[in-house]
Amino acid sequence: MMYGTEMMAYGSGWHLVIFAVFAALLIYPIGVILRRIGYSPFWCLLALFPLLNIIGLWLLALSPWPTNGNGRR
């Protein structure tokens, strides 16, 4: 006897709405940061995948960053 599994599998769809809201709250600021440092904001989609977000963060951290006019980062 499984109680409540029908609601999880065939719910009203609110879980998809909540996921979309949290995904937008995560992706938008990452896209803005990536655009400011000169990368494509589409790289922020890596944040949605568990192992790829760690790899993307390391690639971003170890890549050369843009400098401003006086040579400082």
Q: What is the pLDDT of residues 11-62, one digit of tens each?
A: 668 888 888 999 999 999 999 999 998 889 999 999 889 899 999 999 989 9
Note the pLDDT of residue 38: 87
Long-range pairs for 32-39: beta carbons < 8 A, 24 or more residues apart? 34/60, 37/65, 37/66, 38/66
- Is position 7 within any domain? no
By residue range, what is the domain housing residue 28?
A: 16-62
- Is position 47 within any domain? yes
> What mean pLDDT is predicted for residues 66-71?
66
Q: Distances in Å between the alpha carbon of 32 and those of 6, 11, 36, 51?
A: 39, 34, 6, 22
- Is position 56 within any domain? yes
Note the pLDDT of residue 27: 94
- Is position 10 within any domain? no
* pLDDT band at residue 65 using 50, 70 and 90 as cut-offs: confident
- Is position 37 within any domain? yes
Look at the chain and report how many structural domains it folds into: 1
* pLDDT band at residue 67 using 50, 70 and 90 as cut-offs: confident
